């Protein structure tokens, strides 16, 4: 296998890691506005992701760095063409980070509510826009003969991409609700399960339409199989949630997200950005790649450090594997009314 293909696959794996792990972070962030009934329950929700959310974002940083180093032409065209939505995502992520980090720094309830709004916005916006961005990569965007993006942000707001945004929004919400059910005890666990099932029906319908649309556009057998696996895993996850098997439910939604990423990257390959103006102007794994020497060095570095990073993150999840409930939250978290 050529190194360009190897790095295309590795970047896809990094996106799988990011969307599976950060996906439930986004879901929990959205659930703080609809699932928690009081401050203690809100703290329970935030504590489910407290030890891991910042580590989950490392996958995005590595994916961006790998794209820059392995496919600089892809990185340049992507960030110039998708500048506005990527900038909005960045601002939303910063807002979310600040709100998560500083929410507990002041006891006033007004301060906490403002931080809650920041967490909500910082979770909803990326959840939608990542779906829009990934769908546009597969659908194609205006790229000229010089491999430059010549469209506008309006070109990115097409029906297929907007459907992709709705799919990621609803699937992440279900993924987050399943994670809450896996990590909590008491009444909040049951409410998370019920919400996952209700939203899951909508997400399943949207995902099925999106998978069918994607597979119908591409026609490749692997794309069809990956899409079918995604739908089946999501349905199995909902069935497990209905049976109160939160662990298997989480596995189902996680595998569903992974299968969708596999479907999208398979539909994209061997292109990395499709030109909607002329297929011959598309960026491919060949014409957008770095030199073989650069890819060789990157491969050795990735082989040495990736197991360490994955091992450390797996260890952190194991350490913080226990369920939590409102009885774990001290009474002094209840802030004054002012």
Question: In the block, which residue shows the tokens 């500083």?
Answer: 102
Question: In the block, which residue shows the tokens 């050529």?
Answer: 2
Write the CATH number for 120: 1.20.1630
Q: Does residue 326 have a pLDDT over 90? A: no
- Is position 319 within any domain? no
- The residue with greater pLDDT, 12 or 106, is 12
- The residue with greater pLDDT, 167 or 155, is 167
Query: pLDDT digit string (tens) for 216-274?
Result: 887 788 899 999 999 999 999 999 999 999 999 999 999 999 999 999 999 999 999 99
178 contacts 25 by C-beta, under 8 angstroms: no
Token digits of residue 261: 């990423």
- Is position 128 within any domain? yes
For residues 11 and 9, what is the distance between their CA atoms, to the nearest angstrom? 5
Instruction: Please report the pLDDT score of residue 306 as a whole number.
Output: 85
Instruction: Please report the pLDDT score of residue 199 as a whole number.
Output: 95
Give the pLDDT mean for 147-166: 91
Query: pLDDT digit string (tens) for 183-202?
Result: 999 889 999 999 999 999 99
219 contacts 200 by C-beta, under 8 angstroms: no
Question: In the block, which residue shows the tokens 């942000």?
Answer: 153
For residue 229, the enclosing domain spans 22-295
- Is position 236 within any domain? yes
Question: In the block, which residue shows the tokens 């972070």?
Answer: 25
- Is position 318 within any domain? no
What's the pLDDT band for 174 if we cut at 50, 70, 90?
A: very high
Tally the domains of the chain.
1
State pTM to two decimals: 0.92
Coil vs helix vs strand at 240: helix
101 contact partners, CB below 8 Å, separation of at least 6: none
Among 162, 139, 158, CA closest to 277: 139
| ∠ CA 148-71-312, rounded to 5° | 135
Query: pLDDT digit string (tens) for 301-316?
Result: 888 888 888 888 889 8
Q: Does residue 100 have a pLDDT over 70? A: yes
Among 202, 213, 138, CA closest to 169: 202
Among 102, 122, 97, 114, CA closest to 27: 122
- Is position 314 within any domain? no
For residues 299 and 138, what is the distance between their CA atoms, to the nearest angstrom? 26
- Is position 197 within any domain? yes
- Torsions phi, psi for 174 (to 5 deg): -65, -45
Coil vs helix vs strand at 99: helix
**What whole-number percentage of the chain has pLDDT above 90?**
65
Using CB atoms within 10 Å of the CB of residue 79, give its burial: 0 to 12 exposed, 13 to 18 middle, 19+ buried: middle
Q: Which helix (H) or strand (E) holds 271?
A: strand 271-273
- Is position 13 within any domain? no
Q: Which helix (H) or strand (E) holds 283?
A: strand 283-284
- Is position 329 within any domain? no
């Amino acid at each position: 296998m050529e190194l360009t293909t190897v790095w295309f696959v590795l970047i896809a794996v990094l996106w799988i890691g990011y969307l599976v792990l950060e996906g439930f972070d986004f879901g929990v962030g959205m659930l703080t506005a609809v699932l928690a009934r009081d401050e203690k329950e809100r703290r329970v929700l935030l504590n489910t992701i407290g030890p891991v959310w910042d580590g989950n974002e490392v996958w995005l940083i590595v994916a961006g760095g790998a794209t820059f180093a392995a496919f600089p032409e892809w990185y340049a065209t992507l960030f110039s063409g998708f500048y506005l939505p990527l900038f909005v995502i960045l601002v939303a992520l910063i807002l979310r980070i600040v709100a998560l980090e500083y929410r507990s720094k002041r006891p006033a309830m007004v301060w906490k509510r403002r931080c809650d709004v920041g967490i909500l916005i910082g979770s909803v916006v990326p959840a939608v826009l990542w779906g829009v961005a990934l769908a546009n990569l597969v659908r194609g965007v205006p790229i000229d003969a010089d491999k430059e993006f010549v469209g506008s942000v309006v070109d990115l707001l097409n029906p297929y991409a907007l459907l992709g945004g709705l799919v990621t929004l609803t699937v992440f919400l279900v993924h987050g609700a399943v994670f809450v059910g896996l990590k909590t005890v008491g009444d909040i666990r049951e409410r998370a399960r019920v919400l996952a099932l209700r939203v899951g029906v909508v997400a399943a319908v949207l995902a099925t339409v999106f998978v069918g649309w994607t597979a119908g556009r591409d026609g490749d057998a692997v794309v069809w199989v990956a899409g079918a696996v995604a739908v089946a895993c999501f349905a199995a996850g909902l069935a497990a949630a209905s049976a109160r098997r939160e662990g298997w439910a989480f596995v189902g939604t996680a595998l569903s997200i992974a299968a969708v990423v596999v479907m999208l990257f398979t539909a994209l390959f061997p292109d990395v950005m499709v030109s909607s103006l002329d297929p011959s102007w598309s960026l491919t794994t060949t014409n957008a790649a770095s030199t073989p020497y650069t890819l060789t060095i990157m491969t050795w570095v990735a082989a040495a450090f990736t197991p360490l990073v994955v091992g450390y993150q797996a260890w952190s999840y194991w350490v913080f594997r226990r369920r939590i409930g409102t009885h774990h939250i001290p009474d002094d978290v209840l802030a004054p009314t002012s």
